């Protein structure tokens, strides 16, 4: 099974900062990688699919990159609404796996 490893597990930042979260796959997944945002008590929200394609309605300060085994999610200028948990996920294989998550907290 493909394993997804996210880092860091916790990230402290301030409004206006640029932040980057990394996700590594245990084997190549091409670009079959999605990123989700989850706020407390809410279901996850799809941000990015195919590693770098922004889901409709997602602000352009979010961006994704990578292919193969290494991927990143970047937020160019943090807004107060962005403090949440973020998960990567590989898909389009027989079984899907999520990364363990990154909690983005206010410094």
Partner 1 sequence: EVQLVESGGGLVQPGGSLRLSCAASGFSFDDYDMHWVRQVPGKGLEWVSSISWNSGSIEYVDSVKGRFTISRDNAKNSLYLQMNNLTTEDTALYYCGREGITGPIDYWGHGTLVTVSS
**What pairs with residue 85 in β-bridges?**
38, 103
Rounded to whole angstroms, the Cα distance separating 95 from 38 reads 21
Q: Would you count residue 2 as binding partner 1 (CB under 8 A)?
A: no
- Two structure tokens written together for 80: 């107060």
CB of 66 to partner 1, least distance (A): 15
Answer left, alpha or beta for residue 76, where phi above 0 means left and psi between -120 and 50 means alpha: alpha
List the x/- string, 40-79, binding to partner 1 by CB under 8 A. Answer: ---xxxx--xx--x-x------------------------
Residues forming contacts to partner 1 in the complex (CB under 8 A) are: 1, 32, 34, 36, 38, 43-46, 49-50, 53, 55, 87, 89, 91-92, 94-101
């Amino acid at each position: 099974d493909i394993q997804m490893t996210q880092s860091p597990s916790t990230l402290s930042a301030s409004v206006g900062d640029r932040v980057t979260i990394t996700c590594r796959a245990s084997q190549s997944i091409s670009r079959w990688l999605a990123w989700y945002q989850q706020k407390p008590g809410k279901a996850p929200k799809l941000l990015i699919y195919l590693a770098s394609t922004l889901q409709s309605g997602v602000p352009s300060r979010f961006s994704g990159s990578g292919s193969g085994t290494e991927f990143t999610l970047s937020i160019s200028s943090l807004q107060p609404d962005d403090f949440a948990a973020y998960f990567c996920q590989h898909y389009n294989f027989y079984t899907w796996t999520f990364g363990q998550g990154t909690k983005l907290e206010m410094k």
